[in-house]
Amino acid sequence: MRYGNTKKILVTGGAGFLGSHLCERLLDQGHEVLCVDNFFTGTRRNVAHLLGEPRFELMRHDVTFPLYVEVDEIYNLACPASPVHYQFDPVQTAKTSVIGAINMLGLAKRLKAKVFQASTSEVYGDPEVHPQPEAYWGRVNPIGYRSCYDEGKRCAETLFFDYHRQHGIPIKVARIFNTYGPRMHPNDGRVVSNLVLQALRNEDITLYGDGSQTRSFCYVDDLIEGFLRLMETDATVTGPINIGNPGEFTIRQLAELVVELTGSRSEMVFRPLPPDDPRQRRPDITQARAVLDWEPTIPLREGLRKTIAYFEKSLG
């Protein structure tokens, strides 16, 4: 199926925020891309500019059902990733993470293909270790409102490593920390999109708790570069590897920067913290630097400018 250095690559969740950027980069590298999405959170609009590309194919499919295709590599990104979306149907969220992983691993086993799992910093829960290294096992509530996603992703990692040990499947597992950029879903409830939209509309900016909880924000182009470098490592590198920006900001600092960059007249209002909301989140990227020669290059101010420009255009 390979033609020279060209591969046919499956991207599940390919019409989503991250998936659409990944499809774009893979096409830029000269590969054929099969983009699979059930359009629960992904949209055709995210990949509309790719539809005329002869090496790009878009398929509507839910990964909780088996998929019978012929490809060289698999990137498994399919799963709603924001609390608003993954709590809308928590049973389906857990099934997407777990059954979706089983189906993609089964496909990889049949094809003897390398398979990438988009895991998450949520596997660390509300951490007692800061910043979070990959060796930290996490502190997760197994029966809370976020558990469908947190525990679903943890179980998916379990399955990836068991398939690797039992069947020799070549796996790559990346733990994604907060990512932002163009094509974020406007109603996904994530902090960057929430703050940007509220600021652009001059609405009250909602902060939870006192806004002192911290997050680390990675621009999407940096993240996708980390994905590609991880996928190109040799078979001894399985991950999990943290991919994120170690720069740490309070949510209040983020809100103040968004207000500055948008010139908004918004005022900040405070609401109670949601259940199980982590107090702090910051990746230890020692492994990514050493193994992938990767670290983020786009500062928060620059990435926010690009993200704000995208939302201004979409609102206009």
Does the pLDDT value for residue 4 go beyond 60? no
- Give residue 1's pLDDT: 52
- What does the block give as tokens for 52? 């005329």
Band (2; pLDDT cuts 50, 70, 90)? low
Does the pLDDT value for residue 101 go beyond 70? yes
Band (186; pLDDT cuts 50, 70, 90)? confident
d(CA 226, CA 237): 14
Band (94; pLDDT cuts 50, 70, 90)? very high
Catalytic residue among 75, 86, 124, 149: 149
Is 219 known to be catalytic? no
- Give residue 185's pLDDT: 86
The interaxial angle of helices 147-167 and 90-111, nearest 10 deg, is 20
User: What is the tens place of the pLDDT at every residue in 233-248?
Assistant: 999 999 999 999 999 9
User: What is the tens place of the pLDDT at every residue in 216-228?
Assistant: 999 999 999 999 9
Q: Is the peptide bond before 133 cis (omega within 30 degrees of 0)?
A: no
Task: Please report the domains of the chain, with CATH numbers, ordered by start residue.
Answer: 8-180+219-246+283-297 (3.40.50.720)
User: What is the tens place of the pLDDT at every residue in 121-151?
Assistant: 999 998 999 999 999 999 999 999 999 999 9
Closest CA to 123 of 137, 108, 103: 137
Q: Average model confidence (pLDDT) for the chain?
A: 94
User: What is the tens place of the pLDDT at every residue in 9-61?
Assistant: 999 999 999 999 999 999 999 999 999 999 999 999 999 999 999 999 999 99
Q: Which residue has the tokens 């830029």?
A: 28
Q: What is the percentage of the chain residues whose pLDDT exceeds 70?
A: 98
- Give residue 3's pLDDT: 52
Band (183; pLDDT cuts 50, 70, 90)? very high
Residue by residue, DSSP assigns 36-96 as EE--SS--HHHHGGGTT-TTEEEEE--TTS------SEEEE--S--SHHHHTTSHHHHHHH
